[in-house]
Amino acid sequence: MRIGVGYDVHPLVEGRPLVLGGVRVPFERGLSGHSDADVVVHAIIDALLGAAALGDIGTHFSPFDPQYEDISSIFLLQRVSDMLNNQGFKVENIDATIIAQQPRLAEFIDEMCHNISNALGIARDRVSVKASTSAHLGFLGRGEGIAAHAVALVEERSL
């Protein structure tokens, strides 16, 4: 078994949709980034790549490469899942936390978990996504951005 940890943060800006866990969340601002800026999926990707010692999200999906502009992070997660499978790894479980003062995310969590489990080809009960605030502290508490932490457990399979 191997474990990986991921973290991502993006600023909130006007004129972009807010996408978290592959779900378009109704909100007046979205996350700035080269792709769809889905912080929770980016954190999960880094956790998975870290567990398999395969680098990080920027190594595989450069923010300077035009082919990834506005791309769905769920699509990138599927590609990472394929990479792991090709390297002999099986995803055991994912645990992620989104830190956002606003908007409230409780009603979107189940759909996020569904999207992530489908992208990884694992059972829904092996994916946990939680939402928290930073109690109005710092840039997250002032609503300037959204962050996410993720942990991934993978198992090495014989090829």
- Which residue ranges make up each domain of the chain? 2-105+112-133+143-156
Pick the CATH number of 2-105+112-133+143-156 from 3.30.1330.50, 3.20.20.140, 3.40.50.12280, 3.20.20.120: 3.30.1330.50
pLDDT of residue 46: 98
pLDDT in the model for residue 90 = 96
Taking only the tens of pLDDT, the chain with its 159 residues reads 999 999 999 999 999 999 999 999 999 999 999 999 999 999 999 999 999 999 999 999 988 888 888 899 999 999 999 999 999 999 999 999 999 999 999 999 999 999 999 999 999 999 999 999 999 999 999 999 999 999 999 999 876
Whether the bond between 103 and the residue before it is cis, its omega within 30 degrees of 0, is yes
pLDDT of residue 159: 60
Q: Kind of pairing, strands 127-132 and 30-31?
A: unpaired
Q: What pLDDT score was predicted for residue 63?
A: 85
Q: In the prediction, which pLDDT does 157 show?
A: 85
- According to the model, what pLDDT value does residue 132 have? 97
